[in-house]
Amino acid sequence: MQENNTKRVVYVVDGARTPFLKARNKPGAFTASDLAVSASRSLLTRMNASVDIIDEVITGCTMPGPDEANISRVIALRLGLKNTVPAFTVMRNCASGMQAIDNAMENIASGKSDVVLAGGTDAMSHAPLLLNTKMATWLGGWMSSKTIGQKLQMLPQLRLNYFAPVIALLKGLTDPIIGMSMGQTAEQIAYEFDISRQDMDNFAVKSHQHAAHAITENFFTEVSPIFDRKGNAYLHDDGIRADSSIEKLAKLKPFFDKKYGAVTAGNSSQITDGACFMLLASEQAVEKYQLPVIAKLVDCQWAALDPSVMGLGPIHAATPLLKQQHLSLKDIDFWEINEAFAAQVIGCVKAWNNADYCKQFLGLDSAFGEIPKEKLNVDGGAIALGHPVGASGARIILHLIHVLQRNNAKRGLASICIGGGQGGAVLIERI
């Protein structure tokens, strides 16, 4: 393409994330903007140039708090960036963080911006309880009735079931078009690719073991501690269970299809609070301000598919991306596929290795091939670390950079499935 020739190269200067903090049945210590500010502050503090060079802030977030409208601007101002630094928020469900990176890439590549702070955040433990429509209607009438007599007349119309809250989190995790919960879409993939409960639990145990190993080896160097107002310090992701085992996971009941299903809370990603941000810069800015770089963002690709198998989104996005870059499976040194559900990651591997699926849905002549296990999610994934939906897309890109660095490898591909039936993929190269 003509315009491709004029696109500018985009570099990752630095990145940081908070520990991922598991939601424990009550709002956590941090709001989404608290998390984002904490992660970004570490980045800005260690920047070797003035923070004034930042042109804009782009944030992915699926459920900002009621005080966090256009949360990206809230974050920018809380960070003390100048009033003149614009900021916008993007929302693409589970890929919102990746979407923010893509927007940053685009704006840098096109020359609109030179230095962008981009990433994602979500405090899922703060997801609100909403009033149902009946209650809202009644309340509306109550507030507009002016006299005590009118108010008294309204009281008998109030019904107990009006008080039943709408749990925003559950709504968000249910497909609004087909009505399936995200877990049910994983059940669907398990059905279509013959993935057993044991396959899923095995995968989940590996995720925990890899993550626990990574903690002991201090592989998560991108994590910056976060401090709450009560004097607690949070240093590490707190959902990892080093003692996870097949036996323990086998005891859990299916959560989504309760009677006949196989997807449990144990082989699904955790509901978590967290934020991950990166500083991206054009080649020109890197030279001008002598910024260090850790990776090059080569390409980003999006795809859409049947919402009932949304978990296969990663390969739908990765296939055209690799084609565009003239790369094959073996050219990728390390992979990240976000672990929304064990079934869905296993499904991606199986579908790509399945000639029929590749022909019918990916426009390929034959099976694409099998991603080697030892190259996929080498330090565990969202099943162990948690899945703050707005942040995960950024987290897998940032962590993949660290994996490439550690292994002196060149190319990595990070991909993520998206509720509603989409997938996103980003190709990176280590510098």
Partner 1 sequence: MNNFTHWQLKQDDRDIIWLSLNKANVAANTLNREVLEEFERIVDDIQQKENLAGLIIQSAKSSGFILGADIQAFTEIKDANEAFELVRKGQIIFEKLENLKIPTLALIDGACLGGGLELALACDYRVAHDNRKTKLGLPEVLLGIHPGWGGTIRLPRCIGALKAMDLILSGRTVPAKVAAKIGFIDAAVPMRHLKTAAIRFILNQPERHKAPWYDKAFSISFIRQAVGSLLRKKVMVKAKPEHYPAPYAVIDNWVKVGIDNEKAYITEANSIGKLLVSDTSRNLVRVFFLQEQLKSLAKHSDFKAQHVHVIGAGTMGGDIAAWCALRGMQVTLQDRSSEQVAPAIARAYQLFSKKIRDKRLIQAAMDRLIPDLEGEGVSKADVIIEAIYENLEAKQNLFKTLEASAKPSAILASNTSSIPLDEINQTLNNPERLVGIHYFNPVAKMPLVEVVKGQLTSQDVLNDAIAFVRSIDKLPLPVKSSPGFLVNRILMPYLMECVALVDEGYSITAIDSAAKKFGMPMGPVEIADTVGLDVCLSVAKNMIAHFGGTVPTRLESMVSQSKLGKKSGQGFYTYKDGKQIKEPAADKGEHDELITHRLIMRLVNESFAVLRENVVESADLLDAGMIFGAGFAPFLGGPIHYARALGKDELTKIFNDLQSDCGKRFEPDTALSEIII
Question: Is residue 326 part of the contact set for partner 1 (CB under 8 A)?
Answer: no
Tell me which long-range contacts 42-50 makes (C-beta under 8 A, separation of at least 24). 42/16, 42/224, 43/14, 43/15, 43/16, 43/117, 43/277, 43/278, 43/279, 44/79, 44/117, 46/14, 47/13, 47/14, 47/279, 48/289, 48/290, 48/291, 48/292, 49/289, 49/290, 49/291
The residues annotated as belonging to the active site are: 94, 387, 417
Q: Which amino acid, 85? A: V
Burial call 40-74: b when 16+ CB within 10 Å, e when fewer? bbbbbeebebebeebbbbbbbbbbbbeebeebbbb
- Give the residue, chosen from 41, 134, 213, 288, that forms a contact with partner 1 under the rule CB under 8 A: 41
Question: Is residue 82 part of the contact set for partner 1 (CB under 8 A)?
Answer: no
Minimum separation from the CB atom of position 379 to partner 1 (A): 22
Question: Is residue 230 part of the contact set for partner 1 (CB under 8 A)?
Answer: yes
Question: Is residue 233 part of the contact set for partner 1 (CB under 8 A)?
Answer: yes
* Crossing angle of helices 96-109 and 389-406, rounded to 10°: 70
Question: Is residue 218 part of the contact set for partner 1 (CB under 8 A)?
Answer: no
- Give the residue, chosen from 54, 76, 79, 348, that forms a contact with partner 1 under the rule CB under 8 A: 79
Q: Which stretch binds partner 1 (CB under 8 A): 147-155, 196-204, 229-237, 315-323?
A: 229-237
The backbone torsions φ and ψ at residue 423, rounded to the nearest 5 degrees and listed phi first, read -145, 155
Q: Which stretch binds partner 1 (CB under 8 A): 21-29, 34-42, 88-96, 252-260?
A: 34-42
Question: Is residue 240 part of the contact set for partner 1 (CB under 8 A)?
Answer: no
Enumerate residues 164-193 that contact partner 1 by CB under 8 A: none
Enumerate residues 113-132 that contact partner 1 by CB under 8 A: none
The backbone torsions φ and ψ at residue 404, rounded to the nearest 5 degrees and listed phi first, read -60, -45
Minimum separation from the CB atom of position 348 to partner 1 (A): 37
Contacts of 34 (CB under 8 A, 6+ apart): 123, 226
Minimum separation from the CB atom of position 229 to partner 1 (A): 4
Question: Is residue 80 part of the contact set for partner 1 (CB under 8 A)?
Answer: yes
Q: Which amino acid, 67? A: D
Q: Which stretch binds partner 1 (CB under 8 A): 36-44, 194-202, 286-294, 392-400?
A: 36-44
Write out the residues near partner 1 by the rule CB under 8 A: 37, 41-42, 45-46, 48, 78-80, 225, 227-233, 235
